[in-house]
Amino acid sequence: MSHIEVHDVHHTYAPERAEPVQALRGVSLSIRAGEYVAVLGHNGCGKSTLARLLNGLLLPTQGTVRVKGWETRDRARLREIRATVGMVFQHPDNQFVATIVEEDVAFGPENLGLPRSEIVDRVAWSLDQVELTQYRGRAPHQLSGGQKQRACIAGVLAMRPEVLVLDEATAMLDPLGRVEVLKLVRQLNRGEGVTVVAITHHMEEALEADRVVVMSEGRIAFEGTPREVFARVADLRALRLDVPGPMQVVDALRAKGAVLEDALTADELSQSLKREARSEERRASRAAAFAPRPSPLVHSSVITVSRLAHYYLRGSPLEVQALFDVSLEVRRGEILGIVGQTGSGKSTIVQHFNALLRPHGGTVVALGHDLGAADLDVLEVRRKIGLVFQSPEAQLFEQYVGDDVAYGPRNLKLPKEQVRERVRVAMESVGLPFEQFKDRITFALSGGQMRRVALAGVLALEPEVLVLDEPTAGLDPAGREQIWGLIRSLHARGLTVVVISHNMEELAAAADRLVLVAGGRVALTGTPRELFAQPQALEALRLRVPEITRAFQLRDGLESQPVLGVAEAVARVMGDGHGL
């Protein structure tokens, strides 16, 4: 029995000042009751549009969408359709309706007309499922980005929908947070028969699904089980997608002539590599083939944080201390990664770097400026230290893309032609062709496109230090690589870069040093190799080493040198004599 039927659906956006954008082109899809379907695709391929069609938030320009036989155009059935299909949006701030977390979670059940006792039970259960019980009395705007997403998930779970649609719902969660939410979703799917449609750019998340649907340019390109889909490595890469890290290693080793079975998880890769091991003598000498990545030749600090403390709602009954005695430095010319679980204080720390927040205790000195000084030239600091927020929509405010990117340069009083050139260069550098996007409606863009606009707006100021808060969240694999390619290019030209990320694979490949934040304090500092050599310590702090690193730790033991990325994995295996 089908829960949802999508038949020959087209959808076109028609903004005022730009050409119409056709988001879907003849999509047909049947989703069975109790099925778990993952939807993959590049940014702008139509995934989020499809999600909004599933419960009548959008209506097809052409074609039909039916939920339990009810057509979404039938307004008389809209309440029942939306009670059946629960949505968790890509951007959590779009979903809050109340000023207190538990009231927001209760909003849906209240609108279903449930008895108060059942509403109380549902709110308590759903908050417990996403580990937000201790935050039930807090205002949503006081939560971190990841906590906001958990609160939104709780609000939908409290309605006990028959169908749960997740639009990048784990994008802002820490690695173990993602694992826990996926475990919960799978439990709802298997244990309670909830139908799940999960839109994601995390290839590993799609492994949980019964079926994977791959979209491209508004159409369904192909579909199948996770193993069937991820076996099509070349086809996925042609569509700007990729495969899970372990399968990337398998594909790279096959290109070197190794004979390996498909491996979608760290455990599968570990077992596959063990079966291919040929020479214990060469395995014993493998560490000699690895030299630590050299640390950057930097000495001076561009930002020095000493014993920093910060409170939210200081002096009020709702006062919360977010930072406790934080000390760290950002060295000139490095890429510094900041990691930690959701709500650990990462974003609060970096918002002190350009005086968006002022210290309540301790000091922050940036590029020679004391950021706690009363006479601080704030505009000068913010011109030199650019910050791209965790949620791009928080940073965008102009109606049209070109005007938003131009806002900073215009405030520098630059000549009109120089402003236009800065905007063009900045937009092109983040993969947004100037002529194609300058007149696009800013808030009609996909989440990934909005993130690129926000980054372009900062780059147009030509800063000395670039601070990026989750810059690749919501981007497809090709988009993530493009952003990191841009970061490396800017870094090579002398720009100092600070990146907050939950993507340990990206930081393993790019960061010179990592600062691990836990509970508003700095818990660990070191190179990626030094931190990833401590997987148990990381897991205790709700982080995980990359899947490729974990596969080799399972194979070789924790005492082995951590493997950072596909290239090192291939070097390790071929050096060991595996697959030769």
pLDDT in tens, 402-415: 999 999 999 888 89
Rounded Cα distance, 434 and 437, in Å? 5
| Pairing of β 195-199 and β 163-167 | parallel
With a cut of 70, say whether residue 17 has pLDDT above it.
no
| Pairing of β 21-32 and β 2-13 | antiparallel
User: Residue 391 carries which side chain, given as an amino acid letter?
Assistant: S
> What CATH number has the domain spanning 301-347+357-526?
3.40.50.300
Q: What is the pLDDT of residues 149-201, one digit of tens each?
A: 889 989 999 999 999 999 988 877 778 778 878 888 898 899 889 999 999 98
Q: What are phi and psi of 266, to 5 degrees?
A: -60, -40
Spatial CB neighbours of 373, under 8 Å, sequence gap ≥ 6: none
Residue in 369, 350, 371, 346 with CA at minimum distance from that of residue 360: 371
pLDDT-derived band at 393 (thresholds 50, 70, 90) equals low
Higher pLDDT pick, 472 / 233? 233
Averaged pLDDT, 488-496: 90
Compute the Cα dihedral for 250, 252, 255, 256 and give only its sign: negative
Q: Supply the pLDDT for residue 472.
A: 84
Sequential DSSP letters for 128-171:
HHTT-GGGTTS-GGGS-HHHHHHHHHHHHHTT--SEEEEESTTT
Q: What are phi and psi of 545, to 5 degrees?
A: -70, 160
Rounded Cα distance, 496 and 512, in Å? 11
Do the two domains 2-238 and 301-347+357-526 of this chain adopt the same fold?
Answer: yes
Domain map of the chain by residue range?
A: 2-238, 244-293+547-580, 301-347+357-526
With a cut of 60, say whether residue 282 has pLDDT above it.
no
**Contact, 60 vs 22, CB < 8 A?**
no
Q: Supply the pLDDT for residue 392.
A: 66
Token readout for 161 is: 């929908």
Q: Where are the beta strands (DSSP E) in 429-503?
A: 465-469, 496-500
Q: Supply the pLDDT for residue 91.
A: 74
Token readout for 27 is: 């999509």
Q: Supply the pLDDT for residue 293.
A: 52
Spatial CB neighbours of 354, under 8 Å, sequence gap ≥ 6: 366, 371, 381, 382, 385, 386, 387, 467
Number of residues in the chain: 580
Lowest mean pLDDT among 80-84, 483-487, 506-510: 483-487
Q: What is the pLDDT of residues 19-70, one digit of tens each?
A: 788 999 999 999 999 999 999 998 889 999 999 999 999 999 999 999 999 9
pTM for the full predicted model: 0.81
Rounded Cα distance, 552 and 500, in Å? 26
Q: Where are the beta strands (DSSP E) in 346-424?
A: 361-366, 369-370, 385-388
Token readout for 396 is: 């965008």
Rounded Cα distance, 315 and 318, in Å? 8
Q: Rounded to whole angstroms, what are the CA distances from 458 to 371, 472, 521?
A: 20, 15, 28
Averaged pLDDT, 202-213: 93
First to last CA, the chain: 49
CA-CA-CA-CA dihedral for 360, 364, 369, 373, to nearest 10? 10
**Contact, 549 vs 569, CB < 8 A?**
no
Token readout for 346 is: 């990462």
Compute the Cα dihedral for 376, 377, 378, 380 and give only its sign: negative
For residue 461, count other CB atoms closer than 10 A to its CB. 19
With a cut of 90, say whether residue 580 has pLDDT above it.
no
Rounded Cα distance, 93 and 395, in Å? 13
Q: What is the pLDDT of residues 548-567, one digit of tens each?
A: 999 999 998 888 899 999 99
Instruction: For the chain, give the percent of residues with pLDDT over 70.
Output: 93
Q: Supply the pLDDT for residue 481.
A: 86
Q: What is the pLDDT of residues 79-112, one digit of tens each?
A: 899 989 999 987 777 789 898 999 999 999 998 8
Rounded Cα distance, 400 and 37, in Å? 35
Residue in 192, 230, 234, 237 with CA at minimum distance from that of residue 208: 230
Q: What is the pLDDT of residues 286-312, one digit of tens each?
A: 444 444 555 554 568 999 999 999 999
For the range 132-136, what are the long-range contacts, defined as Cβ-Cβ under 8 Å and sequence gap of 24 or more? 132/101, 135/101, 136/100, 136/101, 136/102, 136/105
Q: Supply the pLDDT for residue 44.
A: 84
> What CATH number has the domain spanning 2-238?
3.40.50.300
| Pairing of β 465-469 and β 385-388 | parallel
For residue 69, count other CB atoms closer than 10 A to its CB. 9
CA-CA-CA-CA dihedral for 257, 258, 261, 265, to nearest 10? -110
If DSSP codes are grouped into helix, strand and coil, which group holds residue 82?
helix
* Angle at the Cα of 393 from the Cα atoms of 387 and 399, rounded to 5 degrees: 110
Q: Supply the pLDDT for residue 477.
A: 86
